[in-house]
């Protein structure tokens, strides 16, 4: 084994090797098509763009107004806490990403060290979180698009536009991971350049008086803003689901670190400029506060470009967050027997999980329609549940990272990338999760209660699916 290669005893890698051998032998039956393996076509910059672009677009460009309303200028600190929590988490999971690169990411990491139920819970909660994001971000995408077409009257237009773009991004994903990743890369480069120029040019116009008082609503407002900051920055871990399609597994931890640095620096500086230009009590959720700030600095042309950037941010979330990340999680879980086998099917030409993508598309569209009738349910309650679901997934993944170090030290020693200062970053990751949990409960105490209920339902679903899988396997062995 070469230094840095994934461990040969890892089941997912062995299974992938078997699939490639079978594919090379010219197999083409329906059963064999279910055993095709994804192709490794993604380079470092593709994966980096997946991490940066998966940061929730409407969380930064629209819901940041709600965070500022809650915490005032202190929202800058609240979002920093959320961003650093993501950063620490990314570094802590880097070893698992390079040592066990696969489409299931945390689902298969946790299953290896903690058992099937916990692996299913970790992966499914992360995947379903992205499906919820597809609904909320999709509706936000429709609303942002309406800014460019004021002649379109009627509340149904944002829904129609959202469904059109969700459908487009689903088709791009079906046509190949390399096409989706290349599209993502170009969009993220444009977004990064615009935000950097806005921040650097806008610094000269900020008014220091706008930063006082720092916490106008006290510490309760500050704590309540942290989950919104988490919503804004969560999603970057999605790049680990590119493990089965990444050319070099060592690119995964590098991209984890550099995508975190990129979005943390970019959006923190941009928020400082935003609040320096517009007093906190004048910022609303009626439109993107960044669009208003860009209008102040650059006029209508600046507002137009910034709104286009907000559109790109929302688009990249759906393109490679919802459609790519969630479908890869469900694909891997189907291959492991946690979900119906149809979700583990890869198209023989494009090597993409078409049925998983189609399922994610269908639920995303359904949530967009739901948001049309009840926006508060989609943007408030389901978004809170998404944060809670990902907190569960991250916690289990961090535990798996510690168990990886504890029980497979020799395997970790042979990796081409190792996290520095261990166990510093897992500890900081847990502290960040606890802070976000506290902020979530303070802002909405019933969120935890509802979370326990749906996790109980999920456990029942897991037992049902695995019981059926075990019965089917027994019948096949008897035959």
pLDDT tens sequence across 25-68: 443 444 444 456 788 889 999 999 999 998 867 677 777 888 89
Angle made by CA atoms 14, 103, 171, in degrees to the nearest 5:
130
**Span of 99-108, 426-435, 461-470 with lowest mean pLDDT:** 461-470
**CA–CA separation, 245 and 342 (whole Å):** 20
**Number of Cβ within a 10 Å radius of residue 171:** 14
| Cis peptide upstream of residue 423 (ω within 30 degrees of 0) | yes
**CA–CA separation, 257 and 322 (whole Å):** 21
Which domains are delineated in the chain? 11-469 (1.20.1740.10)
Mean pLDDT calculated for residue range 346-354: 93
Q: Look at phi and psi of residue 359 and say left if phi exceeds 0, alpha if psi is from -120 to 50, else beta.
A: alpha
For the ranges 211-220, 383-392, 463-472, the one whose mean pLDDT is highest: 211-220
pTM recorded for the entire structure? 0.84
pLDDT digits (tens, 9 = 90+) for 68-96: 988 999 999 999 988 898 899 889 999 99
Q: Indicate if the pLDDT at residue 282 is higher than 50.
A: yes
Mean pLDDT estimate for the chain: 85
pLDDT at position 231 is 76
**CA–CA separation, 13 and 55 (whole Å):** 29
| Residue whose token pair is 């929202």 | 75
Question: C-alpha 338: how far from its chain's center?
Answer: 21
3-state helix, strand, coil in the chain (%, to 5): 80, 0, 20
pLDDT higher for 335 or 287? 335
Q: Indicate if the pLDDT at residue 274 is higher than 60.
A: yes
Residue 324 and residue 133 in contact, taking contact as beta carbons nearer than 8 Å: no
Closest CA to 55 of 63, 44, 43, 66: 63
pLDDT higher for 278 or 288? 278
Mean pLDDT calculated for residue range 294-319: 90
pLDDT digits (tens, 9 = 90+) for 92-101: 999 999 999 9
**CA–CA separation, 266 and 258 (whole Å):** 12
**CA–CA separation, 421 and 418 (whole Å):** 9
| Torsion from C-alpha of 54, 58, 61, 67, nearest 10 degrees | -110
């Amino acid at each position: 084994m070469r230094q840095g290669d994934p461990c040969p005893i890892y089941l997912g890698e062995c299974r992938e090797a078997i699939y490639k051998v079978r594919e090379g032998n010219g197999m083409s039956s329906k059963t064999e098509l279910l055993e095709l393996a994804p192709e490794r076509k993604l380079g470092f910059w593709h994966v980096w763009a997946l991490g940066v672009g998966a940061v929730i677009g409407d969380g930064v460009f629209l819901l940041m107004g709600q965070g500022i309303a809650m915490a005032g200028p202190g929202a800058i600190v609240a979002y920093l806490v959320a961003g650093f929590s993501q950063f620490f988490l990314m570094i802590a999971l880097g070893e698992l990403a390079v040592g066990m690169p696969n489409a299931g990411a945390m689902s298969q990491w946790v299953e290896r060290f903690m058992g099937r139920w916990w692996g299913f819970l970790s992966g499914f909660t992360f995947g379903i979180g992205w499906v919820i994001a597809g609904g909320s971000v999709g509706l936000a995408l429709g609303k942002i698009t309406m800014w460019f077409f004021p002649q379109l009257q009627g509340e149904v237009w944002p829904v129609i536009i959202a469904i059109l773009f969700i459908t487009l991004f689903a088709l791009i994903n079906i046509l190949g991971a390399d096409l989706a990743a290349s599209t993502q890369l170009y969009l993220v480069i444009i977004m990064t350049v615009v935000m950097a120029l806005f921040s650097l040019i806008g610094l000269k116009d900020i008014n220091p008086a706008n930063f006082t008082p720092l916490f106008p609503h006290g510490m309760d407002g500050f704590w309540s803003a942290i989950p919104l900051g988490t919503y804004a920055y969560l999603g970057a871990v999605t790049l680990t689901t590119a493990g089965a399609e990444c050319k070099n597994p060592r690119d995964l931890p590098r991209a984890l670190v550099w995508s975190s640095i990129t979005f943390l620096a970019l959006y923190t500086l941009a928020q400082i400029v935003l609040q320096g230009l517009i007093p906190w009590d004048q910022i609303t959720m009626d439109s993107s506060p960044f669009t208003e700030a860009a209008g102040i600095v650059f006029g209508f042309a600046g507002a137009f470009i910034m709104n286009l950037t907000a559109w790109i941010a929302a688009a990249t979330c759906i393109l490679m967050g919802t459609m790519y990340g969630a479908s890869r999680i469900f694909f891997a879980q189907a291959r492991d027997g946690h979900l119906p086998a149809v979700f583990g099917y890869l198209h023989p030409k494009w090597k993409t999980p078409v049925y998983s993508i189609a399922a994610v598309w269908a639920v995303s569209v359904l949530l967009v329609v739901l948001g049309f009738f009840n926006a508060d349910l989609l943007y408030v309650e389901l978004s809170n549940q998404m944060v809670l679901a990902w907190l569960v997934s991250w916690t289990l993944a961090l535990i798996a990272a510690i168990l990886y170090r504890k029980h497979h030290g020799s395997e970790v020693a042979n990796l081409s990338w190792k996290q520095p200062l261990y166990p510093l970053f897992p500890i900081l990751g847990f502290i960040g999760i606890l802070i976000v949990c506290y902020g979530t409960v303070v802002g909405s105490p019933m969120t935890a209660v509802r979370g326990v209920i749906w996790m109980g339902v999920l456990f029942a679903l897991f037992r049902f699916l695995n019981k059926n899988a075990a019965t089917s396997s027994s019948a096949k062995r008897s035959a």
